[in-house]
Amino acid sequence: MRFSKMHGAGNDFVVLDLRSGSAAPSAALCARMADRHIGVGCDQILTIESASHPNVIANYRIWNADGSVSGQCGNGARCVAAWLVRDGAAPAQGSFIIESPAGRHTVEHDGHGGFVIDMGPARFAPAEIPLNGFEASSLYTLHLGAEIVQFGAVSMGNPHAVIEVDDVASADVLRIGPLLQASAAFPQSANIGFAQVLSPTRIRLRVFERGVGETLACGSGACAAVAVLARRGRVQHDAQVAVQLPGGCLQICSDTQADTMRMAGPASFVFEGEWL
């Protein structure tokens, strides 16, 4: 099984081409490939599959490092786009469309070797996230034992909670992240973001991803953080917001007129290999 190792701002992937009709990897195989000691090592497995519509270049699916499935992956979308351009399946200029389990995404070249992805609308209704036990609000409060956590919640094709903190460097990511993920409020778990606002157009972010743990970057998490913070007036709507993650910087825009989130950032090839 041939694969490509890629990353987007440090969020790393094993990319498999299944367009010939090869079977999707099992959850157990995904977990073995993702293992950083005895496998290839990655945050997610991405499978590139035949398009379901003539206007779509290819479909892709996402498996987390523990073998569980994911509905969306923003950094993965850029890596899929770069892989398809290198393969010749997608144009080296202009725009094209790829499809994830969350829907179709228009891809544009950013002129600097990266890509701009239309990530679709941010969904705040609790039933769409899903978030149990709350009426819709821009800020939720949850008691986790002796811990009181305030967060915003949104779906970007996968569920996200966003906690604003004074300093991401000292945020208790490895303790609060798993606690909130395991809460009954999130029946499908969630990606937990810890965001520090530096200005109306710049934030810092760390993300504890479901099925993975803390990652160097999370594209859908960056979109979620900007969406939640823009809703509360903490960052600007309709402006590029620089999201600084441990692995690099993404540019996110909450486009109110088009009701979508746009994400720009890099996509890099690391090496090619064969799984025996």
Tens of pLDDT, residue by residue over 55-104, are 999 999 999 999 999 999 999 999 999 999 999 999 999 999 999 999 99
Which domains does the chain carry?
2-118+266-274 (3.10.310.10), 126-258 (3.10.310.10)
pLDDT of 230-265, one tens digit each? 999 999 999 999 999 999 999 999 999 999 999 999
Residue type, 189: S
Q: How far apart are CA 206 and CA 136, in angstroms?
A: 25
pLDDT (average), residues 25-45: 97
Residue 219 annotated as lining a ligand binding site: yes
Confidence at 112, pLDDT banded by 50, 70, 90? confident
pLDDT band at 44 (very low <50, low <70, confident <90, very high): very high
Catalytic residue among 42, 218, 223, 253: 218
Q: Kindly report the average pLDDT of the chain as a whole number.
A: 97
From 30, 42, 73, 79, active-site residue: 73
Question: For position 147, what pLDDT does the model report?
Answer: 87
210 is in an annotated binding site: yes
Question: Which tokens belong to 37?
Answer: 């000691």
Percent over 70 (pLDDT), the chain: 100
Contact 202, 195 (CB under 8 A): no
Question: Any binding-site annotation on 74?
Answer: yes
Q: Is 223 a catalytic residue?
A: no
Burial class from Cβ neighbours inside 10 Å (0-12, 13-18, 19+) for residue 54 reads exposed
- For 144-166, what is each residue's pLDDT tens digit? 988 899 999 999 999 999 999 99
Active site residue 30: no
Residue 55, CA distances (Å) to 62, 86, 170, 217, 262 in order: 21, 19, 46, 30, 20
pTM, two decimals, is: 0.95
Distance CA 92, CA 247 (A): 26
The three-state secondary structure class of 238 is coil
Q: Specify the pLDDT at position 162.
A: 98
Is 76 part of any known ligand binding site? no
